[in-house]
Amino acid sequence: MKKNFQKFYSKKKILITGHTGFKGAWLTTVLLRNKAKIIGISKDIPTNPSLYKILRLEKKIKDYRFDLSNFEKLKKVLISEKPDVIFHLAAQAIVSKSYKDPKKTWSSNLISSLNLFEILRKIKKNCLVVIITSDKCYLNIEKKTGYKEGDRLGGNDHYSASKACTEILFNSYFKSNLYKNLKLRIVTARAGNVIGGGDWADDRLIPDCVSKWSKNKIIKIRNPNSTRPWQHVLEAIYGYLSLAIELQNNKKINGLSFNFGPSERRSKPVKNILNEFKKSWKKIKWKYEKTFSFTETNSLRLNSKLSKKLLNWECKLTFSEMISLVSNWYLIYYKKKNNDLFQFTNNQIDKFEKIFFKR
């Protein structure tokens, strides 16, 4: 299976939108190992520190910087670069920010996707496209079993609603126009919360924790019993990569959507993550405190049986293996003893691949 990955991605031209973000930087690193040629489009570097900068990825790829709401610029890049595969990750990805700046969230999440679909109608070279939305695209009715791909879409905050609308937009574009373009194959991917080294986004659990703990401060936890389908960022990334390969091999999946989440027993409350982190970060402290009040749902689980059946994809890391990868990455970063974080990150990918391809 590993050989299939290398064979498929080697020398392919891959366009990643949102390449400077957390997932984009991991995806770029994995694809560089497979000798792909990467083109990135992002409007900015969303955090400081930034994984993209730490890994010095700008030197290893072709880096475009503009807002995807600019239709003409996007069209020009797509026409001139002619990518073999597109992973569309760019988005305003933070729920709390969507309350503060709804317009920017809708523009980044929906208008950018609209521009991309419109341009893809007329592409003339074979192209595989994976549109990254989110588990939050489902109407959350606090269901105890996992959401399936056919379940009702919805969202009570701008981020979730914009992801649900991206799915609806995708469906109408596919069924009305895109299916006619025989050069194009396109799917959407809905993953749950991901964690991994190098994330510093606001209002996300791990970045908030490590930023405090690295300064010996106490982290205030909004909801220690909140359950999320946690998965390591590499699990989702290898899901997206497997999906593009399958899209090439199996035209029947053209136009479908796929969930990528851990099994139900791996959906754990926040407090379990903190306790697991304590095994390597000995001195960490946290306390419960109700802070900034935006509506958060208590549980959200995904049913990923379709990905298991058609892509043979499932989360392979155990809960402790996942947390150990995350905590070790940040330990190394904050100790500043290991300057070659690109190598260290690649070592983590090696470890992950041994489990992903063999377990």
Ligand X SMILES: NC(=O)c1ccc[n+]([C@@H]2O[C@H](COP(=O)([O-])OP(=O)(O)OC[C@H]3O[C@@H](n4cnc5c(N)ncnc54)[C@H](O)[C@@H]3O)[C@@H](O)[C@H]2O)c1
Q: How far apart are CA 226 and CA 235, in angstroms?
A: 21
Q: How far apart are CA 27 and CA 233, in angstroms?
A: 9
Residue 232 binds ligand X, judged by CB under 6 A: no
Q: How far apart are CA 20 and CA 11, in angstroms?
A: 21
Q: How far is the CB of 235 from ligand X (least distance, A)?
A: 11
In terms of CB distance, is 66 or 179 closer to ligand X?
66
Residue 194 binds ligand X, judged by CB under 6 A: yes
Q: 77 with 17: CB under 8 angstroms?
A: no
Instruction: Give me the residues paired with residue 39 across strands.
Output: 15, 62
Amino acid letter, 264? E
The only residue of 68, 206, 210, 323 in contact with ligand X, by rule CB under 6 A: 68
Q: Which stretch binds ligand X (CB under 6 A): 38-46, 116-124, 180-188, 321-329?
A: 38-46
Reading the block at residue 176, the tokens are 């009305």
Q: How far is the CB of 7 from ligand X (least distance, A)?
A: 26
Residue 46 binds ligand X, judged by CB under 6 A: yes
The only residue of 18, 198, 207, 261 in contact with ligand X, by rule CB under 6 A: 18
In terms of CB distance, is 20 or 307 closer to ligand X?
20
Residue 132 binds ligand X, judged by CB under 6 A: yes
The only residue of 34, 69, 140, 272 in contact with ligand X, by rule CB under 6 A: 69
Residue 92 binds ligand X, judged by CB under 6 A: yes
In terms of CB distance, is 112 or 348 closer to ligand X?
112
Residue 201 binds ligand X, judged by CB under 6 A: yes
In terms of CB distance, is 176 or 203 closer to ligand X?
203
In terms of CB distance, is 60 or 217 closer to ligand X?
60
Can you spell out the DSSP letters for 283-337? T--EEE---S-----S---B--HHHHHHH-----S-HHHHHHHHHHHHHHHHHT-
Reading the block at residue 35, the tokens are 């000798």
Q: Measuring CA to CA, which residue among 190, 317, 355, 210 is closest to residue 274?
A: 210
Laid out side by side, the sheet with 85-88 consists of 62-65, 37-42, 13-17, 85-88, 127-132, 184-191, 257-260
Residue 300 binds ligand X, judged by CB under 6 A: no
State the residues that interact with ligand X by CB under 6 A: 18, 20-24, 42-44, 46, 67-69, 89-93, 108, 112, 132, 134, 191, 193-194, 201
